[in-house]
């Protein structure tokens, strides 16, 4: 059976979905944008601050699901501007060290929810069944 995983330490979903779903030892986390869960405000100061907030949100959901950054198997990164790749990658590397970095793709798209610049979703291993 699938188990729904949601936490108040990450932004509440802005549509008909859950933050994550655990199934058979895997945790599927919905795309996260740079919403501050405490204030509900977008963090759009610059691409670095935006990427940090997205990754903090993902980390909170991972932890709620019995997982962590080191257990992420696959990351999907959507960006509005491929020219920001280097700046995004520098922040991403602070969270995902080479010894446990997941498989990943980074794709440029024309728009993202709430007109943000980056959205990341992940699949991770978890102790939830």
Q: What is the pLDDT along the chain (129 residues), one digit of tens a residue?
A: 999 999 999 999 989 999 999 999 999 999 999 999 999 999 999 999 999 999 999 999 999 999 999 999 999 999 999 999 999 999 999 999 999 999 999 999 999 999 999 999 999 999 876
26-32 and 118-125 strand pairing: antiparallel
- CATH fold label, 3-125: 60s Ribosomal Protein L30; Chain: A; (3.30.1330)
Please give the backbone phi and psi of residue 121, each rounded to the nearest 5 degrees, phi first: -120, 155
* Rounded distance between C-alpha atoms, residue 25 and residue 88, angstroms: 29
CA angle 12, 101, 55 (to 5 degrees): 25
pTM value surpassing 0.95: yes
């Amino acid at each position: 059976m699938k188990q729904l995983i949601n936490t108040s330490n990450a932004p509440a979903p802005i549509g008909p979905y859950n933050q994550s779903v655990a199934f058979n030892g895997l945790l599927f986390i919905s795309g996260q944008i740079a919403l501050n869960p405490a204030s509900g405000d977008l963090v759009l100061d610059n691409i670095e601050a935006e990427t940090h907030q997205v990754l903090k949100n993902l980390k909170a959901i991972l932890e709620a699901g019995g997982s962590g950054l080191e257990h992420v198997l696959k990351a999907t990164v959507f960006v509005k501007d491929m020219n920001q790749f280097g700046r995004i990658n520098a922040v991403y590397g602070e969270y995902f060290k080479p010894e446990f970095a997941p498989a990943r793709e980074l794709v440029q798209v024309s728009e993202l929810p709430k007109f943000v610049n980056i959205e990341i979703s992940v699949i991770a291993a978890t102790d939830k069944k």
